[in-house]
Structure 1
Amino acid sequence: MKAMLLNTYGSDAVFEPTEHPKPTVKPGHVLVKIAATSVNTVDTMIRQMGEELPLSPALPAILGMDFAGTVEAIGEGVTDFNVGDEVYGCAGGLADLPGTLAEYLLADAKLIAHKPKTLTMREAAAIPLVGITAYEGLTRANTGENQTVLVHGGSGGVGHIALQLANYFGADVYSTGGGEKQLALIEQLGATPINYKTETVADYVAKHTNGTGFNVVFDSVGGANIINSFEAAALNAHIATTVSMVELDLTLAHFKGLSLHVVFMLIPMLHNYQREQHGKILTKLAEIADAGKLKPILDEQEFGLEEIGQAHERLASGKAMGKVVVSV
């Protein structure tokens, strides 16, 4: 099969097209003919940082985590899928799991689900990592009806899914953005836009919550921004963040009685821990998408498999709106 291989890591590492052995099916797994894959920030981090990240695969490596495609073969013990089924998931590209920048993928059946019927392969491939992350964060934060939810970075990959899911859960949704296009997208997706460049946290807390704060804050920006999340939160509120590798003073969180949920959705893949939860979440996300309540935004630029280097550059440039997707 054709695959895009990395033989070195680093900022100038080049993906090289190569003929690679096609995987053979094994128990508990399915062999998938990949139609599309999407690029996530963690993919670019692995390419650049290599061994500095404990989750990077050994070289030579096939990167890529998300995919959508068609089942070609079924391993022993797999009962939920059949040959010819259209599936999607986040199932490779780190540690000892070969990635999706190839024509075929051997995927653990626990990590995948049937593709949403109403979405294209490219749309479905955009969902898994960001969708699981958003769903896990919002559900761990007990998001529900009549709550006020603030999503930081609502036009980003995780954020634009999170605000749609918060709407689905019945919340009153607000989201920060920093430009006209971002704010327009946030409004289009059903949230009240907040320009963090022109409004202080105190300003928008007073404006939208009468000064009491938000019940849930989903922070897809993270880092130093978590302090803004603490400030924006109501008493006894929940904060979910996807980026928490930072030193912070938790005094404000203490005096507000906040709960902090750190979402790192790669844990089941890295540690083979409760992988079936990913399959269950993806099944639920497909149900929500087929109900017309979830649709990923795809960046306007399209890429083929041999253009994966350009796709990485597109994501890293910060100019992409929505997910960067690669057709295989």
Structure 2
Amino acid sequence: MKAITYRRYGGPEVLEYGEVGEPKVGPDSVLVKVVAAAVNPVDWKARQGYLDPVLDAVFPVIPGWDVAGVVERPGAAVTEFAAGDEVIGYVREDFLSRGTFAEYVAAPVRTLARKPRNLTFPQAAGIPLAGLTAYQTLVKALRVTEGDTVLVHAAAGGVGSMAVQLARHLGARVIGTASERNHAYLRSLGAEPVTYGDGLGERVRALAPDGVHAVFDTVGGDALTESVPLLAAGGRLASITDQAVLTHGGRYVFVRPDPDDLQDLTDIAERGALGVEVSATFPLEKAADAQRLNEEGHTRGKIVVTVGRES
């Protein structure tokens, strides 16, 4: 099968497109024919070796954790899926090697859920990692409920845009930070936009004089520090990028595969409450260009690599 691989850590230039062996399918896995695979910042961070302290790399590594595709063959013990089922997955294992930037991936059933019927494959591929990150932070770490006011940093990005929609689905009011060029987009998602940078605290206080009930930090650093005094009494703070959140009494969230959470996201998407803006698509052989664009850090929504048939 065709795949993208890298044999050493480095920049986009270490990515190679070529032939590799088809993955073996264990008893608790299914072979998925990949149609689309979303690009996430963790992909290029892993490629550069930033995850080496926590995840071993078994070279050559096929990058990619997000997938939307079709079940080709279930493993011997699998009862959840059958050949022909359309699925999405956050296919993360405890090591780097067998990713989704390939024609096929062997995906453990614990990483999969049914694909939303109302989304295209490229759109659906953008849900797993970003959607699970937003869902697990909002629901499990921040415990957002109806009537809360939630501040979401970098609200126009892949995770941020998911967080805005899910918080609105939970009945919360959302204030989202973004550049001015993305303010109309945030309003379309149901958020009240504020420009990040100097004076952010004053702009948020103008919208929420009594403070916000929860802060969802996707940036870290100054954004995290400046968020602490914006919390109302009893407010909750969570970050997906900066473990310094723990020193402020908040929660640090590292997303994990969860088929029930992923199925919840599918259900929410099918109710029309969760969509994915695909900002750019690249064919598999151009995956290095897709990672370069993602690494620039200014993308709205998701960048997606298309592999098989498009829908």
When normalised by structure 2's length, the TM-score is 0.93
Distance 1:12 1:108 in 2: 28
Match of 1:28 in 2: 28
1:47-91 deviations in whole A, cap 9, x for unaligned? 122674432522211111100000011112211111100000110
Distance 1:82 1:43 in 2: 29
Match of 1:220 in 2: 218
Q: What residue identity is the alignment partner of 1:305?
A: L
Residues matched between the structures, number: 306
1:109-132 deviations in whole A, cap 9, x for unaligned? 011000001001000101100100
Q: Percent identity?
A: 37
Match of 2:300 in 1: 321
Distance 1:22 1:75 in 2: 15
Distance 1:193 1:325 in 2: 26
Mark the CA change 1:97 to 1:213 in structure 2 (over 3 Å): closer, same or farther.
same
- Indicate if the aligned counterparts of 1:63 and 1:92 stay in contact, CA closer than 8 A: no
- SS of the residue corresponding to residue 105 of structure 1 reads strand
Mark the CA change 1:31 to 1:66 in structure 2 (over 3 Å): closer, same or farther.
same
- Indicate if the aligned counterparts of 1:64 and 1:100 stay in contact, CA closer than 8 A: yes
Q: What residue identity is the alignment partner of 1:79?
A: T
Gaps of 5+ in 2: none
- Indicate if the aligned counterparts of 2:144 and 2:167 stay in contact, CA closer than 8 A: yes
When normalised by structure 1's length, the TM-score is 0.88
State the 1:28 CA deviation: 0.8
Mark the CA change 1:157 to 1:100 in structure 2 (over 3 Å): closer, same or farther.
same
Match of 1:271 in 2: none
Distance 2:191 2:58 in 1: 42
State the 1:320 CA deviation: 2.3
Match of 1:95 in 2: 95
- Indicate if the aligned counterparts of 1:87 and 1:115 stay in contact, CA closer than 8 A: yes
Distance 2:268 2:85 in 1: 19
Decide which structure has greater strand share: 2
> In the alignment, is residue 167 of structure 1 matched against residue 175 of structure 2?
no
State the 1:188 CA deviation: 1.3
1:268-311 deviations in whole A, cap 9, x for unaligned? xxxxxxx5xx1111100000000000001111x32000000000
Match of 1:272 in 2: none
Q: What residue identity is the alignment partner of 2:213?
A: N
RMSD: 1.9
Match of 1:290 in 2: 270
Distance 1:204 1:81 in 2: 46
State the 1:25 CA deviation: 2.0
Q: What residue identity is the alignment partner of 1:176?
A: T
> In the alignment, is residue 243 of structure 1 matched against residue 241 of structure 2?
yes
> In the alignment, is residue 75 of structure 1 matched against residue 65 of structure 2?
no
Gaps of 5+ in 1: 254-258, 267-274
Report matched runs for 1:125-136 at 5 Å: 125-136=125-136
- Indicate if the aligned counterparts of 2:35 and 2:68 stay in contact, CA closer than 8 A: yes
